[in-house]
């Protein structure tokens, strides 16, 4: 079974880049283009990891992260914020809303997967490696 990653991102170019990088590493990618769509996708697909933009239509990423942490199905799923919000205090606000990690855009395609993995529990990575 492939590791499922939900990307909640409204920008087509960013969605394409993230999807390409993840699929090339054998992840199954689920796409959502708004905060509300992302919350529904979590309930429907039960992803193993969530990549979350902050600036989204309908609900921003902070609200999405808070909502997901309140739900039993998603309270323990790693949520990694991938955002261009890089002002002082933005990372702290993301972490307070329930994020597990924070990666600033623009992402570096050469290091993105290792950056993402750095926020995942070690046993999560061990299980993934044993399945490949």
> Which overall architecture, per CATH, does domain 4-131 show?
3-Layer(aba) Sandwich (3.40)
3-state helix, strand, coil in the chain (%, to 5): 45, 15, 40
- Tell me the pLDDT tens digit for each residue of 69-119: 999 999 999 999 999 877 788 899 999 999 999 999 999 999 999 999 999
Rg (CA), the chain: 13
Please state the rounded mean pLDDT for residues 19-32: 97
pTM beyond 0.85? yes
pLDDT(127) > 90: no
H or E element in which residue 17 lies: helix 12-24
CB contact at 8 A, 8 and 38: yes
Residue 129: pLDDT band with limits 50, 70, 90: low
Residue 82 has what pLDDT?
A: 96
Interval 42-67: pLDDT, tens? 999 999 999 999 999 889 999 999 99
Mean pLDDT of 12-32: 97
């Amino acid at each position: 079974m492939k590791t499922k990653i939900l990307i909640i991102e409204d920008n087509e170019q960013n969605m394409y880049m993230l999807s390409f990088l993840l699929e090339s590493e054998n992840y199954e990618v689920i796409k959502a283009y708004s905060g509300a769509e992302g919350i529904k996708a979590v309930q429907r697909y039960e992803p193993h990891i969530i990549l979350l933009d902050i600036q989204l239509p309908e609900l921003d990423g902070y609200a999405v992260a808070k909502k997901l942490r309140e739900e039993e199905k998603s309270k323990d799923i790693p949520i990694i914020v991938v955002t261009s919000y890089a002002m002082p205090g933005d990372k702290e606000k993301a972490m307070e809303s329930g994020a597990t990690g924070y990666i600033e855009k623009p992402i570096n395609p050469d290091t993105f997967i290792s950056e993402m993995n750095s926020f995942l529990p070690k046993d999560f990575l061990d299980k993934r490696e044993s399945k490949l």
